Amino acid sequence: MPKRILQGVVVSDKSDKTVVVKVERRFTHPLLKKTVRRSKKYKAHDETNQRKTGELVSIEETKPISKDKTWIVVENA
């Protein structure tokens, strides 16, 4: 099964080796037929602490690193 890759914006880089990435998805509402935006925040592993708030990054699903982290930063998108 392929690993999921998502793109999002770093919203927090305060933790050591961890960034919080906000991923936004758009879809058409089934009843209203209007485009709706939903967002979710993921904690991702950033080994080198390079990523800063506001950067656009790609994250990839991986095995659990800690209780909350199951994503790793792949590259700047």
pLDDT tens digits, one per residue of 11-47: 999 999 999 999 999 999 999 999 999 999 999 999 9
Q: Is residue 1 over pLDDT 80?
A: no
Pairing of strands 18-28, 5-12: antiparallel
- Write the DSSP symbol of residue 16: T
Domain membership of residue 45 as a residue range = 5-76
For residue 9, give every residue at least 6 positions away whose Cβ sits within 8 Å of its Cβ, in sequence order, or none. 21, 22, 54, 55, 56, 57
- At residue 76 the predicted structure's pLDDT band, cuts being 50, 70 and 90, is confident
Q: How many domains does the chain have?
A: 1
Percent of the chain with pLDDT over 70: 99
**CATH number of domain containing 47:** 2.40.50.140
Answer for the pair 43, 7: CB distance below 8 angstroms, yes or no: no
